[in-house]
Structure 1
């Protein structure tokens, strides 16, 4: 877990698959400068959190809920973290929710992927996330590369496999709290068509041109600008 700032106005930050709380190393201080106590959680099998080869979505939700003792004013989830956040909403009761580059595609209807195939995919993804390889990504800073490579090295494949095998997805309904979706532009995950569908459901949807999946890497000012605009709109 990482914390920036102080006070009772909490912003809860939830990272994505193969990540860690450290991926918010710029967003956390930016939120603290805006008066929040930013709290970033490590999900099971990530960062400093325990591994669990029997992991389920409920376990991931428990991990998120356990780091705050009051409903956060703001909750931000990236990719997998956005999905976990959506499941945690009834218990968290945040004032506002932000979902970063996630399509909320609903339950899977295709054939189930085997544990062996998932393990192979996650192992390959972990091995590919070295500082040297990440340094080829446009706009990423040296610190972005370092924290992502370190998070990947600590990532537990078996925990992720268990989560993927136990989770089939869920249908997204109209947001229960004011909700923003921030997408990369172009995005591999949230197409323009899906963005329009989410807007029709009641989400605000905004894009950050030129950003990658980890939208704020290399685009912190643009990301925070979108957030400021949405928060200022009430």
Structure 2
């Protein structure tokens, strides 16, 4: 499936952004311009079932296939958050970016520590008050974005990743130089998993005090943890 995309900047240096579940390209409202300011042409997708992209069947493999079909290979940087980290890892052999960043990736959903993805379907009805209570560090613009992206999101994407489809998707090793950003605390990446990832060849950096959506919870910390990778 060809995905809807949003771009910032121009030039030959390309950065790819892949959002997490319930979201779309609008989650990168600060990251896209910041990377463009560093000389990148930034391309952000709406995964299938999200934003302005099409609907249909859902699986991690289909999310990855869509990335490979939509995005250019050989980008200088590719960054995936949460579900986007799963999709990017499954497509990285075809996209072959020079560097990959996985921001609090949802790889360990099947290890037992993380919640069943089907539970995310109930978030479809979140109110502004709920979002602000759960994310006290977010700017009002991010709350606005969350309400808009939830309205555009097909909750079937969450159900498709539950049950038998939810298993450990941690890559055996990075196929390109790869950084894993970890929230603090992270409901996905435990200290044990951080050690496991380092042993597999990933660089691991924790953004102290940041929630799961690191780029919205602590934008400066998010960007700071990317130094040397962007």
- TM-score tier, shorter chain, comes to 0.7 to 0.9
Greater Cα shift, 152-161 or 28-37: 152-161
In the alignment, which of 74, 77, 82 is matched to residue 74 of structure 1?
A: 77
Stretches (4+) displaced over 6 A: none
Partner of 2:181: 182
In the alignment, which of 72, 88, 91 is matched to residue 88 of structure 1?
A: 91
Structure exhibiting the larger radius of gyration computed from Cα positions: 1
Q: Distance in 2 between matches of 1:160 and 1:105?
A: 15
Contact 2:108 2:189 in 1 (8 A): no
Shift in Å, 1:107: 5.4
Q: Distance in 2 between matches of 1:122 and 1:105?
A: 16
Contact 1:78 1:100 in 2 (8 A): yes
Equivalent residue of 2:189, what SS? coil
- Match status 1:208 vs 2:216: no
Equivalent residue of 2:216, what SS? coil
> Structure 1: where are the runs of 5+ without partners?
none
TM-score normalised over the length of structure 2: 0.88
- Match status 1:14 vs 2:18: yes
Shift in Å, 1:123: 3.4
Q: Distance in 1 between matches of 2:62 and 2:164?
A: 11
> Structure 2: where are the runs of 5+ without partners?
none
Q: Distance in 2 between matches of 1:80 and 1:50?
A: 17
- Match status 1:153 vs 2:151: yes
Shift in Å, 1:65: 2.0
Contact 2:72 2:95 in 1 (8 A): no
> Aligned residues, how many?
222
In the alignment, which of 129, 132, 136 is matched to residue 135 of structure 1?
A: 132
Task: Quickly say closer, same or farther: Cα 1:73–1:131, change in 2 above 3 A.
Answer: same
